Structure 1
Amino acid sequence: MASKEDIRRSRRLYRRALTPEQIAEAGEALARHGSTWAETVTSGEAAMFAVYVGVAFEPPTMPLLGALHEAGHDVLLPVCEPDRQLSWVYWTPSTVFVRSSYAPIDEPVGERLDSSVVASAAGIFMPATAVDKDGNRIGQGGGYYDRLLQGLDASGRRPPTIAVVYDDDLLPSGSIPAEAFDRPVREVLTPSGVVVLENAAEPA
């Protein structure tokens, strides 16, 4: 089995080879399928979703943010804090972004809410470098989302969670080494659609 870092390296190379046209098409497809998933988990009612902004070679999520906003949903975006914690800011199309103090990303400006607000979300769209069909997920290595999910699982208030990847980032079962702090996901959003991972473990 490849190490997590080997998998990250492989997936980053794959993503860097994508053309601007492929990336743009992926963003539009993710918005369509992500909006459908949101409608499913809310039964068509307006709700709140925790999302993120895909940067660099990540799957682009700005079209998804726009689609959720257009559908009447509230959108929360993460802000990196010390000790690998996240706070959250409500996003609208007029939101201003500034460079993060803790990660190589731009983050929204606004009132920062602690992660307890995410427990009230209808769903969480999570970044991922890769996911295998057992639900094991690899992020960028910061551990922010594993900590978030760990806290939500401990509270018994974890909303439906879906990881966002390109089609080829969904790997066969057994591809990703799972560690004690990892939190599996049961659904994956790809440009081809939503994949339900029947073999994924239930949250601890």
Structure 2
Amino acid sequence: MSRLPSEATEAKRALRRSLLTGRRARQAAEVRRLGHALAGVVARLPELDGVRSVAAYVSVGGEPDTGPLLDLWHARGVRVLLPVLLPDDDLDWAVYEGPGSLREAGRAGRMTLREPAGPRLGPEAVAEAGAVLLPGLAVDRAGHRLGRGGGSYDRVLTRLARTGADPLLLVLLYAEEVRDTVPAEPHDRPVHAAVTPAGVRWFGRR
């Protein structure tokens, strides 16, 4: 017997549709410009001083552009872990070695991703990171992150909690995607801050 979607689940779906429509309307030039601004904000975060390993991701579509930030960290000698999507939607990890180290990875019925081509380090490698950048569509003042609904990063957050790792959790967004409230469920784990091209909004842990 199938379970009916909860009210929060339905609210999440509706909000995702609205936010994704807004992202699709952004011009590529604006996405690139804001990506450089976002990298500048992250680069100035004192909370990341001394962090030598981070887990990040390669942006797709209208997501805030992570390319400038990845290249900045790589140039500074920071070890950047990037995800590799597994068939069960869990995430493996590999080290970013510059733009030429990425390859396109098509998934049936999904958008084409760009993933690191280097050796796979295993799903547990994320626990080595001092900071984890999470994709999202919105976040609220309690730090509840609205993802795309695939559950990959819910698994990452569960894995971090299980291993006792305590990295800084940052979600990258556009300024208008920081909201008063987003639908949340008991299993949702809050992030510490939202980083936008306009600045940082902290929800806990400085």
CA RMSD of aligned residues (A): 1.9
Equivalent pair of 1:41/1:122 in contact (CA under 8 Å): no
The one-letter amino acid of 1:160's match is L
Equivalent pair of 1:128/1:164 in contact (CA under 8 Å): yes
User: In the alignment, what sits opposite 1:73?
Assistant: 78
Equivalent pair of 2:132/2:168 in contact (CA under 8 Å): yes
Deviation at 1:139, TM superposition (A): 1.1
List runs of 5+ in structure 1 lacking aligned partners: none
Q: Aligned partners of 1:36, 1:22: CA distance in 2, in Å? A: 22
Q: Deviations for 1:77-96, whole angstroms, at most 9, x for unmatched residues? A: 00111332110010111303
Deviation at 1:154, TM superposition (A): 2.0
Deviation at 1:46, TM superposition (A): 5.9
TM-score normalised per structure 1:
0.88
Equivalent pair of 1:149/1:158 in contact (CA under 8 Å): no
User: In the alignment, what sits opposite 1:88?
Assistant: 93
Q: Aligned partners of 1:46, 1:197: CA distance in 2, in Å? A: 20
Equivalent pair of 1:79/1:89 in contact (CA under 8 Å): yes
Q: Aligned partners of 1:107, 1:36: CA distance in 2, in Å? A: 27
Q: Deviations for 1:135-158, whole angstroms, at most 9, x for unmatched residues? A: 111111110001110111122213
User: In the alignment, what sits opposite 2:103?
Assistant: 97
Equivalent pair of 1:95/1:108 in contact (CA under 8 Å): yes
Identity score, percent:
36
User: In the alignment, what sits opposite 1:106?
Assistant: 114
User: What SS does structure 1 have at the residue aligned with 2:39?
Assistant: helix
List runs of 5+ in structure 2 lacking aligned partners: 1-7
